[in-house]
Amino acid sequence: MAIEFAKYQGLGNDFILIDNRHSSEPAITPEQAVDWCDRHFGIGADGVIFALPGQNETDYTMRIFNSDGSEPEMCGNGIRCLAKFIADLEGSEAKTQYRIHTLAGVITPELRSDGQVKVDMGVPRLLAAEIPTTLTASDAKVIDVPIEVADKSWSVTCVSMGNPHCITFVEDVAAVALETVGPQFEHNKAFPQRTNTEFIQVIRRDYVKMRVWERGAGVTLACGTGACAAVVAGVLVGKCDRATAVELPGGVLEIEWAEVSGRIYMTGPAQQVFTGFIAN
């Protein structure tokens, strides 16, 4: 049986979207998602996202399988793509704002008239137990803490956006051997649920460059939750303003960490690439 899909991308972070509104269980298995994400023998993507029925008074539920078959709590670029996908499915009935249930909590994307999608990403979690990491005491924040990775000492700050992030600031982000260092961060014993890792070069207080190694996906062109975590980390260590543009290999995300509410807002593009059918 063939399954219909749509391919979307947000700053080059690309996803296979499945209309799964008929069932609360994903239409394919994690093992099938690995095959679909293969860039040579499948469709090719960083992950497969399912639009499932809403729960707990939300409009929809988001599930995602990474290209390695693992399931993350949430994906920032992915939820922007999901919002566009849902609006395309609903057509003339589409809303401009949706409440999406995720494993990281309820996330609210808003489709703007200029084609951008602004997402209320919620409040970042900063305690070691919430990341989770063993780098400090469970009830302490992880700010500028040393860690040994790849025979080098790195100073890191950790943030959870519902999924774990380890951020380190470097002089030249282009010089980081991401394919070598990234996996060693991801699987470091200090991160019991593995971690996403962001390498940040500060250009100005309101503009940074970022490269990312994503847990379960490897090198990607962009990471929305990672960009949010990076700005939070930048504010915590005194390097960034609360409103900061994050330049990724795939483009720029606008991030704001509101001082009063403590909520993070991410604004960026999402675009349909193509649609098709694939044998299940």
Strand bridging mode 2-10 / 271-279: antiparallel
Please give the backbone phi and psi of residue 155, each rounded to the nearest 5 degrees, phi first.
-100, 120
Q: Is 81 a residue of the active site?
A: no
| Cβ within 8 Å of residue 40, ≥6 positions away | none
Q: From the candidates 37, 75, 81, 228, which is the catalytic residue?
A: 75
Select which of 37, 223, 228, 240 is catalytic. Answer: 223
Q: Is residue 223 among the annotated active site residues?
A: yes
Phi and psi angles of residue 144, each rounded to the nearest 5 degrees, phi first = 55, 50
Beta strand 13-19 pairing with 47-53: parallel
Task: Dig out the tokens for 274 from the structure.
Answer: 């193509």
CB contact burial 2-14 (16+ within 10 A = b; e otherwise): ebebbbbbbbebb
Q: At 66, give phi and psi (nearest 5°).
A: -70, 170
Catalytic residues, by residue number, are 75, 223
